[in-house]
Structure 1
Amino acid sequence: MKPIGIYGGTFDPIHIGHLICAQVVLEKRNLEKIFFVPCKISPFKQNEKPTEDKHRLEMIKLSITNSPHFDFSDYEINNERVSYTIDTIKEFKKYYQNIELIIGYDNLVLFDKWKEPDKILELAKLIVMKRVNEIPTKGKHKYFDKAILVDTPTIEISSTEIRNRIKRRLTINYLVPEAVKEYIYNNKLYI
């Protein structure tokens, strides 16, 4: 069976950049499917409070409805603790043999500070989405050499920028799927 991908993050909100890059990784790595896993509490952002879990999860569901190779997991948001990737991978290992952990290049730079990075690499392949204009920095730490870099499009969209645009009453057309945009406005998120 083909490997599955785990793509974690805050997804506050999920946007077109997340989806396009995930599609590229799905194709280039020949994955069975990719699971979007919204975190409960990010280990590196423990003082930040994201939008309610139910909203972030619903936006993910809306954005992947017509994508048979995209799925979601509520494993992390159902736990009332800091979301550590190693715990999520151990949970997925109960059901899937071959797992590929998908992270952004910015997370590779911090990977040596993650909880049990060596154990993560025992259980999963580390797939790093690298924008074409990002220059790999070999030698920063040992995990750079263990990562599989996948060139992904450079899409200058961020969840922070989307939230800021909404606060400033600017359009978010084309930045998020239409169903997500409607959900944001209907639930008065980020105002």
Structure 2
Amino acid sequence: MSKIGIFGGTFDPIHHGHLITAQSVKEIRNLDKIIFIPTYISPHKTNVKTSSPDDRLNMIKISIEGVDFFEVSDYEIKKHDVSYTVDTLREFKKHYDEIELIIGYDNIFKFYTWKEPDEIMKLARVIVLKRKSSQPVEFIDKYVEQATFVQTRGIEISATDIRHRVHQGLPIHYLVPKEVEKYILEHKLYTEEI
């Protein structure tokens, strides 16, 4: 069986920062593939309005088309409920021996608030994305100690900034793949008040 990376998130929208980071982690960690898993509802963002799950899923699909080491799963979207990482990992563990869970730098410091964090650590190796701008580790708990920190080649792009730019009628060239930009404009995403 293969060694995979799971990259979960809202992806509203997916952008070049996500894609470059995922490719970098795949290479650094010698993974067979990365599976993007858009959340239906993030447990840490239950009051945040997002684009429809289908729109977010479609944007990922078109952004990774033709890249054989990237996949997208609609597992969490099909559940139509709050997306808990531990539940997703249990499902994917049925199909894959080695799973590496890719999370953002800030997430490891509140990892103890996640549902069943100890079980997550048993099901997957937690890979923490560290960027040049990341602050030194000041807070250490057992989760920080068990995590693997990876310095990525990622670029700092904010999905929130992209949404604001679209809302203000500003260009988003170079922030998202062309196909995603076209999708956003054709489907009139992010045009309402944010």
Instruction: Give the conservation status (yes or no) of the 8 Å contact 1:133–1:154.
Output: no
Q: Does residue 2 of structure 2 align to residue 10 of structure 1?
A: no
Task: Give the match for residue 176 of structure 1.
Answer: 176
TM score, norm. by length of structure 1: 0.97
Deviations 1:50-72 (A, max 9, x none): 10011000000000002110001
TM score, norm. by length of structure 2: 0.95
Task: Give the match for residue 148 of structure 1.
Answer: 148
Identity %: 55
Give the paired residue count.
191
Work out the CA distance in 1 between the residues paired with 2:133 and 2:59: 29
Work out the CA distance in 1 between the residues paired with 2:128 and 2:145: 11
One-letter amino acid of the structure 2 residue matched with residue 4 of structure 1: I
Q: Which 5+ residue runs of structure 2 have no aligned equivalent?
A: none
Shift of 1:138: 4.8
Q: Give 3-state SS (helix, strand or coil) of 1:78's partner.
A: helix
Of 130-139 and 174-183, the range deviating more from structure 2: 130-139
Work out the CA distance in 2 between the residues paired with 1:66 and 1:138: 41
Task: Give the match for residue 92 of structure 2.
Answer: 92
One-letter amino acid of the structure 1 residue matched with residue 45 of structure 2: K
Of 26-35 and 47-56, the range deviating more from structure 2: 47-56
Task: Give the match for residue 61 of structure 1.
Answer: 61
One-letter amino acid of the structure 2 residue matched with residue 119 of structure 1: E
Task: Give the match for residue 114 of structure 1.
Answer: 114
Q: Give 3-state SS (helix, strand or coil) of 1:6's partner.
A: strand
One-letter amino acid of the structure 2 residue matched with residue 68 of structure 1: D
Task: Give the match for residue 30 of structure 1.
Answer: 30
Work out the CA distance in 2 between the residues paired with 1:54 and 1:24: 27
One-letter amino acid of the structure 1 residue matched with residue 46 of structure 2: Q
Shift of 1:139: 4.0
One-letter amino acid of the structure 2 residue matched with residue 152 of structure 1: T
Instruction: Give the conservation status (yes or no) of the 8 Å contact 1:139–1:145.
Output: no
Work out the CA distance in 2 between the residues paired with 1:113 and 1:155: 27
Work out the CA distance in 2 between the residues paired with 1:38 and 1:163: 17
Shift of 1:100: 0.4
Shift of 1:185: 0.5
Deviations 1:58-87 (A, max 9, x none): 000000002110001100011121100000
